[in-house]
Amino acid sequence: MEDVADRLANRVQLTTDGHYAYLQAVEGAFGADVDYAALVKQYGPAPEAQRRYSPPVCVGARKDRIEGKPDPKHLSTSYVERQNLSMRMHMRRFTRLTNAFSKKVENHRHALALYFVWYNFCRIHKTLKVTPAMAAGLTDAVHDMEWIVSLIDERAPEAGRRGPYKRGQKD
Protein backbone atom coordinates (compact mmCIF):
# COMPACT_ATOMS: atom_id res chain seq x y z
CA MET A 1 0.00 0.00 0.00
CA GLU A 2 2.93 2.32 0.71
CA ASP A 3 4.23 1.66 -2.80
CA VAL A 4 0.88 2.74 -4.25
CA ALA A 5 0.77 5.86 -2.08
CA ASP A 6 4.32 6.83 -3.11
CA ARG A 7 3.42 6.62 -6.80
CA LEU A 8 0.45 8.97 -6.60
CA ALA A 9 0.77 12.73 -7.03
CA ASN A 10 -2.82 13.64 -6.11
CA ARG A 11 -5.43 12.66 -3.58
CA VAL A 12 -7.36 9.58 -4.73
CA GLN A 13 -10.48 7.67 -3.88
CA LEU A 14 -9.83 4.13 -2.75
CA THR A 15 -12.24 1.26 -2.22
CA THR A 16 -11.32 -2.06 -0.62
CA ASP A 17 -13.30 -5.04 0.52
CA GLY A 18 -13.97 -5.61 4.22
CA HIS A 19 -10.66 -7.36 5.00
CA TYR A 20 -9.42 -5.91 8.29
CA ALA A 21 -5.76 -5.71 7.21
CA TYR A 22 -6.64 -3.04 4.63
CA LEU A 23 -7.70 -0.60 7.35
CA GLN A 24 -4.23 -0.53 8.89
CA ALA A 25 -2.42 -0.65 5.54
CA VAL A 26 -4.34 2.31 4.09
CA GLU A 27 -4.01 4.33 7.31
CA GLY A 28 -0.28 3.66 7.45
CA ALA A 29 0.31 4.56 3.80
CA PHE A 30 -2.08 7.47 3.25
CA GLY A 31 -2.99 8.76 6.69
CA ALA A 32 -5.88 11.19 6.24
CA ASP A 33 -4.87 12.10 2.66
CA VAL A 34 -7.29 9.72 0.93
CA ASP A 35 -11.00 9.33 0.27
CA TYR A 36 -11.43 5.77 1.45
CA ALA A 37 -14.40 3.44 1.75
CA ALA A 38 -14.91 -0.27 2.28
CA LEU A 39 -17.40 -2.25 0.24
CA VAL A 40 -18.39 -5.16 2.46
CA LYS A 41 -20.28 -7.90 0.63
CA GLN A 42 -22.81 -9.94 2.57
CA TYR A 43 -23.20 -13.59 1.65
CA GLY A 44 -26.01 -16.07 2.10
CA PRO A 45 -25.94 -19.85 1.83
CA ALA A 46 -25.37 -21.48 -1.56
CA PRO A 47 -28.28 -23.47 -3.00
CA GLU A 48 -28.37 -26.97 -1.49
CA ALA A 49 -27.45 -28.77 -4.72
CA GLN A 50 -24.39 -26.54 -5.29
CA ARG A 51 -23.06 -26.22 -1.74
CA ARG A 52 -19.87 -28.23 -2.17
CA TYR A 53 -18.22 -26.51 -5.17
CA SER A 54 -20.01 -23.19 -5.43
CA PRO A 55 -19.23 -20.03 -3.54
CA PRO A 56 -21.92 -18.56 -1.31
CA VAL A 57 -24.42 -16.23 -2.97
CA CYS A 58 -23.87 -12.48 -2.53
CA VAL A 59 -27.13 -11.16 -1.09
CA GLY A 60 -26.10 -7.55 -0.60
CA ALA A 61 -23.32 -5.06 0.09
CA ARG A 62 -22.68 -2.41 2.69
CA LYS A 63 -20.70 0.75 1.89
CA ASP A 64 -18.71 2.06 4.86
CA ARG A 65 -16.95 5.44 4.70
CA ILE A 66 -13.58 5.06 6.42
CA GLU A 67 -11.67 8.30 5.68
CA GLY A 68 -12.27 11.54 3.80
CA LYS A 69 -15.24 12.05 1.48
CA PRO A 70 -15.49 9.12 -0.96
CA ASP A 71 -18.06 9.57 -3.70
CA PRO A 72 -20.70 6.82 -3.18
CA LYS A 73 -21.27 6.61 -6.96
CA HIS A 74 -17.69 5.44 -7.46
CA LEU A 75 -17.42 2.85 -4.69
CA SER A 76 -16.50 -0.38 -6.44
CA THR A 77 -14.15 -3.33 -6.25
CA SER A 78 -15.17 -4.50 -9.74
CA TYR A 79 -12.00 -3.31 -11.47
CA VAL A 80 -9.64 -5.21 -9.22
CA GLU A 81 -11.92 -8.26 -9.20
CA ARG A 82 -11.87 -8.24 -13.02
CA GLN A 83 -8.06 -7.91 -12.97
CA ASN A 84 -7.79 -10.85 -10.58
CA LEU A 85 -10.03 -12.94 -12.83
CA SER A 86 -7.92 -12.06 -15.88
CA MET A 87 -4.77 -13.10 -14.04
CA ARG A 88 -6.32 -16.41 -12.97
CA MET A 89 -7.48 -17.11 -16.52
CA HIS A 90 -4.11 -16.28 -18.12
CA MET A 91 -1.65 -17.61 -15.55
CA ARG A 92 -1.89 -21.18 -14.33
CA ARG A 93 -0.14 -20.33 -11.06
CA PHE A 94 -3.20 -18.31 -9.97
CA THR A 95 -5.83 -20.97 -10.55
CA ARG A 96 -7.18 -22.85 -7.61
CA LEU A 97 -6.23 -26.44 -6.81
CA THR A 98 -2.98 -26.39 -8.76
CA ASN A 99 0.67 -27.17 -8.19
CA ALA A 100 1.84 -24.66 -10.81
CA PHE A 101 3.18 -22.20 -8.30
CA SER A 102 6.52 -20.47 -7.74
CA LYS A 103 8.64 -21.79 -4.93
CA LYS A 104 10.60 -18.52 -4.78
CA VAL A 105 9.09 -15.06 -4.37
CA GLU A 106 11.58 -13.67 -6.89
CA ASN A 107 10.35 -16.08 -9.59
CA HIS A 108 6.76 -15.18 -8.75
CA ARG A 109 7.60 -11.48 -9.21
CA HIS A 110 9.22 -12.23 -12.58
CA ALA A 111 6.13 -14.14 -13.73
CA LEU A 112 3.92 -11.22 -12.73
CA ALA A 113 6.17 -8.74 -14.53
CA LEU A 114 6.06 -10.81 -17.73
CA TYR A 115 2.28 -11.06 -17.51
CA PHE A 116 1.76 -7.33 -17.02
CA VAL A 117 4.11 -6.38 -19.88
CA TRP A 118 2.30 -8.83 -22.18
CA TYR A 119 -1.15 -7.71 -20.95
CA ASN A 120 -0.42 -3.99 -21.44
CA PHE A 121 1.86 -3.96 -24.49
CA CYS A 122 1.05 -7.10 -26.53
CA ARG A 123 -2.59 -8.01 -25.98
CA ILE A 124 -5.22 -6.10 -27.95
CA HIS A 125 -8.23 -5.59 -25.69
CA LYS A 126 -11.65 -6.00 -27.23
CA THR A 127 -13.11 -2.90 -25.58
CA LEU A 128 -10.15 -0.67 -26.47
CA LYS A 129 -9.43 -2.15 -29.94
CA VAL A 130 -5.72 -1.52 -29.10
CA THR A 131 -3.35 -2.42 -26.28
CA PRO A 132 -3.69 -0.47 -23.00
CA ALA A 133 -0.21 1.00 -23.60
CA MET A 134 -1.37 2.33 -26.98
CA ALA A 135 -4.56 3.74 -25.45
CA ALA A 136 -2.46 5.51 -22.81
CA GLY A 137 -0.15 6.97 -25.46
CA LEU A 138 2.92 5.06 -24.25
CA THR A 139 3.54 3.36 -27.60
CA ASP A 140 2.14 3.42 -31.11
CA ALA A 141 2.71 -0.27 -31.90
CA VAL A 142 1.42 -3.65 -30.79
CA HIS A 143 4.45 -5.50 -29.46
CA ASP A 144 5.06 -9.26 -29.45
CA MET A 145 6.86 -11.82 -27.30
CA GLU A 146 10.09 -11.32 -29.25
CA TRP A 147 10.03 -7.68 -28.13
CA ILE A 148 9.63 -8.78 -24.50
CA VAL A 149 12.53 -11.21 -24.86
CA SER A 150 14.66 -8.41 -26.34
CA LEU A 151 13.93 -6.30 -23.25
CA ILE A 152 15.07 -9.18 -21.05
CA ASP A 153 18.19 -9.75 -23.14
CA GLU A 154 19.13 -6.05 -22.93
CA ARG A 155 19.10 -6.25 -19.14
CA ALA A 156 20.77 -9.66 -18.80
CA PRO A 157 24.05 -9.42 -16.84
CA GLU A 158 25.91 -11.79 -19.20
CA ALA A 159 25.79 -11.95 -23.00
CA GLY A 160 23.63 -14.81 -24.21
CA ARG A 161 22.03 -15.45 -20.82
CA ARG A 162 18.35 -14.68 -20.31
CA GLY A 163 17.26 -13.45 -16.91
CA PRO A 164 18.07 -15.21 -13.65
CA TYR A 165 17.84 -18.74 -15.10
CA LYS A 166 20.74 -21.03 -15.84
CA ARG A 167 20.66 -24.22 -17.88
CA GLY A 168 18.81 -26.92 -15.98
CA GLN A 169 17.47 -24.57 -13.27
CA LYS A 170 13.78 -24.94 -12.51
CA ASP A 171 11.24 -22.47 -11.15
pLDDT in tens, 22-70: 999 999 999 999 999 999 988 887 666 566 667 788 889 999 999 999 9
For residues 117, 123, 124, 128, the Cα torsion angle rounded to the nearest 10 degrees is -40
Clarify whether residues 109 and 150 are in a common domain: yes
Residues 71 and 106 both lie in one domain? no
The percent of the chain in helix, strand and coil, each rounded to the nearest 5, is 40, 15, 45
**Using one digit for the tens of pLDDT, what is the confidence trace for 93-121?**
877 666 777 778 898 888 899 999 999 99
Total count of domains within the chain = 2
- Do 19 and 69 share a domain, yes or no? yes
Q: How far apart are CA 149 and CA 146, in angstroms?
A: 5
CA 22 to chain centre: 15
Assigned domain for 95 exists: no
Residues 71 and 112 in one domain: no
What global pTM score does this model have?
0.67
Inside any domain, residue 68: yes
Q: What angle do CA 66, 70, 72 make, to 5 degrees?
A: 110
Helix ranges (H only) for 17-139 are: 20-30, 78-90, 105-117, 132-135
Range of the domain at 142: 102-155
State the pLDDT at residue 108: 87
Q: State pLDDT tens for residues 121-170.
A: 999 999 999 999 999 999 999 999 999 999 989 888 765 555 555 555 55
Do residue 68 and residue 120 come from a single domain?
no
Q: Is residue 92 part of a domain?
A: no
Say if 71 falls within a structural domain: yes
